[in-house]
Amino acid sequence: MSAAELLAETSRRRLEVFFATARRLPADRLDVSPGGRARSPLNLVQEVAALSEFYAEIAETKSLEFGPDAMPKMAARMASLATIDEAEAACRAWSERLLAAAATLTEDDLRIPVSFPWDPVPYTLGAMLHNHVWNLGYHEGQLSYAIDLAGPA
């Protein structure tokens, strides 16, 4: 199995689990902040979707550009996804874009160093793209906790 095949298999599986988990939350609790201070489940779903496009751009350009406009662009991307259905459709499309670009990368490409401005240790491009899978699993855990806090539907 190639690195791209592994990324595709694990990404698609995590997408299924992530959105199945998101849909377990009662609709009236999607935009409620657990404990009044945490991010809402809808915000988590929006972030996961928006980061899917971010990772697709990294795969397509073989670089990580994170300038002063990165966070406003991310916020706008997230705000454009008002529902779980919209976020899921966008996330799946951007994930497929990521996977298509990843399938064209060579082993040398996967070793290209990329990093965030605040990160003292660079990632390889391959490891950075795998963050897509990690991010889906991490936020699935946060959604599961929000479901527990919401109580029975």
> What 3-state class would DSSP assign to 124?
strand
Indicate whether 42 pLDDT > 80: yes
Please tell me whether the overall predicted TM-score, pTM, comes out greater than 0.75 for this model.
yes
Tell me how far apart the alpha carbons of residues 78 and 97 are, in angstroms, rounded to a whole number. 18
For the stretch 43-80, pLDDT in tens is 999 999 999 999 999 999 999 888 888 889 989 999 99
Q: Nearest to residue 135, comparing CAs of 50, 26, 71?
A: 50
Q: Please count the residues of the chain.
A: 153
R_g over Cα of the chain:
16
- Categorize the per-residue pLDDT at 140 as very low, low, confident or very high, splitting at 50, 70 and 90: very high
For the stretch 100-128, pLDDT in tens is 999 999 999 999 999 888 888 889 999 99
